[in-house]
Structure 1
Amino acid sequence: MGSVFGKIDVETPKFELIRSTDEYEIHKYSPSVIAEVTYNPNQFKGKKDGGFMILANYIGALGNPQNSKLEKIAMTAPVITQSLLPEKIAMIAPVVMKGGGGEGERKSVTMQFILPSKYKKAEEAPRPVDERVVITEKGERKYEVVKFSGAATEEVVNGEVFSS
């Protein structure tokens, strides 16, 4: 599981290369089944791997799988993480606030594992024991993939490294 000197040795999603430049590529991905968890990062007391551990337990990466079939599910790459920031909207009155999320503070994070391609429909994947894990299908989709070498720092993820 993982990579050695940049070589990924696990299944990755199939895609068609639509366009390639020196800075980015456009990929069209085939439909896939995903396992995802959405959580508040503050609930893990500063640990950044909370969502990963929930999904890793579902597939059995760290021991007995926590799914209805007790089936080990192969790890794939990439692991997808989406951070949701509080939405900025125009000021109106009255102001009513519920829940957390200060300026720039993440309200929630969604982490996704793309399941191996043998699962064609969400119903084919073992049901999670942990109710926070949701199995869903992603249809065909296009993504712009930025080319870079090194770590995916906050600046790289936000596109700041590539700005003029």
Structure 2
Amino acid sequence: MGTIFGKQTVAEPAFEVLYRQTQQAYEIRRYATRFAASTSTDANSDSAPFNALARYIGVFGTPENQGRTAISMTAPVVKEESSGSSQPEAMAMTAPVVKTPSDPNGEAGMVMKFILPAAYDSMEKIPQPTNPRVHIEEIPPAVGAVHRYSGSFDDAVSRNKARWLAQQLREDGVDITEDYAVEHYQFWGYNPPFTLPMFRRNEVWIELDATQVDQIVNGKGGAASSTTAVN
């Protein structure tokens, strides 16, 4: 019942907050290395990639991985634009689910990723997918700007949020263009589709380089804090 009202019941990766802009509602976060299961699609629908990843971790019946390991769900689920015989194991789900659309006009496909639980901290520990469309990838350490909002999962909405975030960063002294933001942002989703839109935790993430981080963190001076995974 709580998930309908936005209660988060799955873990998410730990991160450090380097700077928080409370007036404009964004923060600069640092993440360590993470691992993700990912898949891509040429379609605009989220259902096919989500279902493939959900089957990999064992949401729907027997997990589609070597060893049949059930893997816990985590958050967020990530969406981003794309440029193009042992016993199976089940995994816990984490958050977010990451989604990256591949083309600002919605003509190309997109990549969706499930961030894996912190216990899977090396390739050797991760059950390999049996579906050839699902891949395991290592996400290197990164620092980026994050804006949190509620409401629709729609790609057009997240794209506009990325434009807005780039504008706020520019106003705070960061050298970043709108084109870069639209081409490189990721949508991070923390809630299931049945969560009421007003209670959803959605985020857009734009990765920053060392110079951009210095421009905002040292230019504004923010107190660092950290968060740990939600159990």
TM-score (norm 1): 0.77
One-letter identity of the residue aligned with 1:36: S
Structure with greater proportional helix content: 2
Counterpart for residue 125 of structure 2: 124
CA offset digits 1:91-118 (Å, max 9, x no partner): xxxxxxxxxx999243221100000100
Specify the alignment match of 2:144 in structure 1: 143
Quote the sequence identity (%).
32
Cα distance between partner residues in 2 of 1:153 and 1:103:
13
Question: d(CA) in 1 for partners of 2:154 and 2:71?
Answer: 29
d(CA) in 2 for partners of 1:25, 1:156 = 19
Partner of 1:68: 66
Q: What is the SS of the residue equivalent to 2:81?
A: strand
**AA at the equivalent of 1:112:** K
Higher relative contact order at CA 8 Å, sep ≥6: structure 1 or structure 2?
1
The aligned runs of 1:1-164 (5 Å cut-off) are 3-22=3-22, 23-41=25-43, 47-84=45-82, 104-159=105-160, 162=164
Residue type matched to 1:30 in 2?
A
| TM-score after normalising by structure 2 | 0.56
* Greater share of strand: 2
The answer to whether the Cα contact below 8 Å between 2:57 and 2:73 also exists between their aligned partners in 1 is yes
Question: 1:8 & 1:18 partners in 2: Cα distance?
Answer: 23
Q: Is the 8 A contact 1:15 1:28 kept in 2?
A: yes
Aligned-residue CA RMSD (Å): 2.6
Q: How many residues align?
A: 145
103 and 149 in structure 1: CA distance in 2 versus 1, 3 angstrom threshold = closer
Q: List runs of 5+ in structure 2 lacking aligned partners.
A: 85-101, 169-231
Shift of 1:158: 1.1
Is the Cα–Cα contact under 8 Å of residues 66 and 129 in structure 1 kept in the other structure? Answer: yes
| SS in structure 1 at match of 2:50 | helix
- Output the amino acid matched with 2:41: Y
Contact 1:83 1:109 (C-alpha < 8 Å) held by counterparts = yes
| Superposition misfits of 4+ residues, deviation over 6 angstroms | none
Alpha-carbon distance between aligned partners in 2 of 1:21 and 1:80, rounded to the nearest angstrom:
23
> What do the CA deviations read for 1:109-131 (whole angstroms, capped 9, x no partner)?
11000001001112211010001
Question: What residue number does 1:97 align with?
Answer: none
Say which SS state the counterpart of residue 54 (structure 1) adopts: helix
CA–CA distance in 2 between the matches of 1:48 and 1:140? 27
The answer (yes or no) to whether the contact 1:36–1:113 under 8 Å persists in 2 is yes
Q: 1:7 aligns to what SS in structure 2? A: coil
Structure of larger gyration radius = 1
| Aligned residues of 2:40 and 2:82 also touching (Cα < 8 A) | no
Contact 2:103 2:109 in 1 (8 A): no
User: Residue deviations 1:63-114, cap 9 Å, x none?
Assistant: 110000101000001100012479xxxxxxxxxxxxxx99924322110000
